[in-house]
Structure 1
């Protein structure tokens, strides 16, 4: 990308957006710098900077937040005193209320939220997109400079295999609202004790099993979730165990390929991410036995 937006850093985008909105940047703290850049600001405001060209996505996230809160599912709230979104160099900046001193949800809390979310009727005020688990995957593999030809060829073949297997899954009988990135860190619990949903950018219409797969994989392939905690997740969701669903392995393999592609994308100028990407690829290729140990990036 050679556009102005691509050349403008997140710090520069934030500075211009703050100037437009009259936001105080003194003491601003970067929380995350990934596909979205997130900053903690004064007065318990959080700035979220989207990807280049993701203006429609940012507008939808604002509507999703209001809709979920109105529907009885506590969700991160937009800062209503500020104009939303602000567009700087083709990147949307949205302002949110800080959720203080929170912890990740337990598996049981996550299961309860997903049960409520999946039971919602689809919104009528706006349209949610159909979820595509392969979005951006091939491009990340094709353009990754850190991959040698052998790994790139294998990953592309694996991608093609999974697309075929996914296409052969039974049709979705009852598509529902899904979070799209449902893990314990995206449902947090502040001192009030009320679990609150974060990261709305992948909220879509799709298979409920996709939302259940991340914790299922943490249990089956990584042993990050003890048996009792996984049982609590299943019970709180209503007794449905996704690991016993015949299509689970297909969704699990797609999710793990997405996690590999993320590490690959983070590898530019980051030696730790590059080493982690190599390790993850070796795991997928069967060179490392389960349970796997992958470091967070």
Structure 2
């Protein structure tokens, strides 16, 4: 499905959900169209539309929001006056409070939040799933029409190698509650100055090192994070530097393969994404030296 048709479908889902809930759509603005379609609406409401069949995930995100806020970790809040979720064409629509005029967190702020999150006992009111960083990866690669035979074969072999390496990782730190997509854009700071957690769909039970790896990769492989800022992240987390952990390279390679697979999935009918996917694949295959420069999609 092309980005345009996916967006039209999300528009139709939003219109029906708003009709059911009595939400004003006159100033609706699409602000993201990725794994979720996200719209800014009137009355400081944000609509989040999941993919088909994800109503259980949406319900869990609502529970996670309440649980984290009750646990002392400020998190995006659901609009409690509206029925949640609304299901249209098998797609869940949830309503959230807008966080105004926010900025991405600093590395230090992200490290402090992750330290608090990882210390939380898992919820008892509902069950968090076990995190699997490989979910959907091989399907995305195998079904991608833009890949030639050589790249597809290499990526699938790389996927198989990484699965085997992941299963053999040292387990010196016990599994805990993780965010699953811990980067500075998913912890935002509004004018109040209180860092607030976003994007709860991957909150789960997993390796705490996974949450530390994304900023570690930004530091080691992309030079997006200056040395002093990275050290502030390490210090705020409590002194554990994931880049010095023996399993870091495996987790870094998995994270980067996920970013490649995302670009591949966006490539249908999108020339910019297709070019970016090709560039990212060349990086993984050792054809481009680090530090890499990847464009956001």
Give TM-score scaled by structure 2 length.
0.97
Matched-pair contact (CA < 8 Å) for 1:175–1:207? yes
- Extract unaligned runs of 5+ from structure 2: none
**1:269 equivalenced with 2:266 (yes/no):** no
**1:73 equivalenced with 2:69 (yes/no):** no
Instruction: Report the secondary structure of 1:35's partner residue.
Output: coil
Partner of 2:132: 132
1:174 deviation in Å?
1.6
- Extract unaligned runs of 5+ from structure 1: none
Instruction: Report the secondary structure of 1:56's partner residue.
Output: helix
Partner of 1:89: 89
Matched-pair contact (CA < 8 Å) for 1:50–1:92? yes
Give TM-score scaled by structure 1 length.
0.97
**1:118 equivalenced with 2:140 (yes/no):** no
Matched-pair contact (CA < 8 Å) for 2:162–2:250? yes
**1:208 equivalenced with 2:208 (yes/no):** yes
Question: Aligned in 2, Cα 1:278/1:254: closer, same or farther, shift over 3 Å?
Answer: same
1:228 deviation in Å?
0.2
Displaced runs of 4+ in structure 1, greater than 4 A? Answer: none
Partner of 2:240: 240
Partner of 1:105: 105
Distance between the aligned counterparts of 1:127 and 1:24, measured in 2? 34
More moved, 191-200 vs 8-17:
8-17
Partner of 2:257: 257
1:171 deviation in Å?
3.4
Alignment of 1:212-231 (within 5 A): 212-231=212-231
Distance between the aligned counterparts of 1:217 and 1:80, measured in 2? 37
Matched-pair contact (CA < 8 Å) for 1:172–1:207? no
Partner of 2:169: 169
Partner of 2:181: 181
Distance between the aligned counterparts of 1:7 and 1:286, measured in 2? 35
1:7 deviation in Å?
11
Deviation string for 1:205-255 (max 9, x for gaps)?
000000000000000000000000000000000000000000000000000
Matched-pair contact (CA < 8 Å) for 1:8–1:89? no
Partner of 1:150: 150
Partner of 2:288: 288
Distance between the aligned counterparts of 2:108 and 2:212, measured in 1? 12
1:142 deviation in Å?
0.6
Matched-pair contact (CA < 8 Å) for 2:234–2:240? yes
Deviation string for 1:50-88 (max 9, x for gaps)?
010000000000000000000000000000110000000
Distance between the aligned counterparts of 2:240 and 2:220, measured in 1? 16
**Structure 1 vs Structure 2 CA RMSD:** 1.4
1:170 deviation in Å?
2.2
Question: Aligned in 2, Cα 1:87/1:8: closer, same or farther, shift over 3 Å?
Answer: farther
Instruction: Report the secondary structure of 2:43's partner residue.
Output: helix
